[in-house]
Structure 1
């Protein structure tokens, strides 16, 4: 049954009890990049990470990692301007190359997401700066931006890409969703705007209580419940 959501100190204590103490929990959690460092990341790296997460979605991550050198070779190390020069015919040819995962629809997302980055560059110093400056207390707004302006970046794909590049964000894993539902933080579809606003508010409250990043809070909540095993990252 739904009940009053626990103070974060209670969640943290349970995570320590389940995982073997504070040192163990500390070893299982990580921090996001400082905003200044995130802002300095090259936009080619950001396009690469978006692409990696698009191809990993619904697929075996190990295979994506194995073929990643082929992606870098075929797409000019994800240079934004060079990718934008690729015609439909060129993309079709690359999508048939055995050095990468041959999925035409996903290959087309590379150019689409390069265009999203290029559009941001016209008004911002860089896409990295744009991401770095986005307030984490409305991280769901950045999720929505990626979903609206990018390609195949909805659901967990956008958030996982943000986590990978170092942007402070929580993730809606099965463990975390289960906890939030059990305590009645939201009761609708997890991807609805209303539900995500309610979830954001709860994470903001936990951040006020703990002084930790959203990333650390997300990981600790996952470690405090569910079936996760020692060593898993959230």
Structure 2
């Protein structure tokens, strides 16, 4: 894969070539490290909801996800009950998938449990690859290992592909294609 020159003359990853939310996400967020439990929990949740859908769909609904999942505060989401699940299943502004909603609540509870250890952020950072993956990769040995460890610790909807996308989004490695203006200098 190669960078694509946008109408603004800037080379970017091909999926972000045109103006709009996808390009804004690429330019401002994707592959940049974040800090804090809520930021990690949000990205894990959004990557799980994206599974089987386009990222553009998730970006368009992100503000609603943030609202209905209490700003991704794990303490609040972990306390959601059956009535909350039904409320979310009836919320037209988000992806209404019962398995993904239940996984988000389960993941909030698992996030709380991680506080007894080093926390969610440190857990995920512990799987940062030592070398970048190919630009067209969808899994890596590290994402397979991260998914396995997350599942072992009680997380759901976190397979190797979702874990890889999470690692990309969080900037655990530079996910940008050669020539993209956001690609880190070697």
TM-score after normalising by structure 1: 0.54
**Is 1:57–2:62 an aligned residue pair?**
no
**Which residue of structure 1 lines up, in the alignment, with residue 7 of structure 2?**
none
Q: Give the Cα separation in 2 of the matches to 1:90 and 1:19.
A: 43
For the 8 Å contact 1:83–1:114, the answer to whether it is kept is yes
Q: Which runs of 5 or more structure 1 residues have no equivalent in the other structure? A: 1-14, 21-25, 169-212, 224-229
SS of alignment partner, residue 167 of structure 1: coil
Q: Give the Cα separation in 1 of the matches to 2:60 and 2:36.
A: 23
Q: Which runs of 5 or more structure 2 residues have no equivalent in the other structure? A: 5-10, 14-25, 131-140
**Which residue of structure 2 lines up, in the alignment, with residue 180 of structure 1?**
none
SS of alignment partner, residue 156 of structure 1: helix
Q: Give the Cα separation in 1 of the matches to 2:77 and 2:62.
A: 16
Residue among 82, 88, 96 paired with 1:94: 88
Alpha-carbon shift at residue 82 of structure 1 (Å): 0.4
Alpha-carbon shift at residue 77 of structure 1 (Å): 0.4
Q: Give the Cα separation in 2 of the matches to 1:19 and 1:105.
A: 36
Q: Give the Cα separation in 2 of the matches to 1:32 and 1:58.
A: 21
Distance 1:135 1:159, change over 3 A: closer
Q: Give the Cα separation in 1 of the matches to 2:89 and 2:111.
A: 22
Q: Give the Cα separation in 2 of the matches to 1:143 and 1:106.
A: 16
Q: Give the Cα separation in 1 of the matches to 2:126 and 2:45.
A: 22
**Higher helix proportion, which one?**
1
TM-score after normalising by structure 2: 0.66
Alpha-carbon shift at residue 43 of structure 1 (Å): 0.8
Alpha-carbon shift at residue 135 of structure 1 (Å): 5.4
**Is 1:162–2:167 an aligned residue pair?**
yes
Q: Give the Cα separation in 1 of the matches to 2:50 and 2:146.
A: 20
**Which residue of structure 1 lines up, in the alignment, with residue 155 of structure 2?**
150
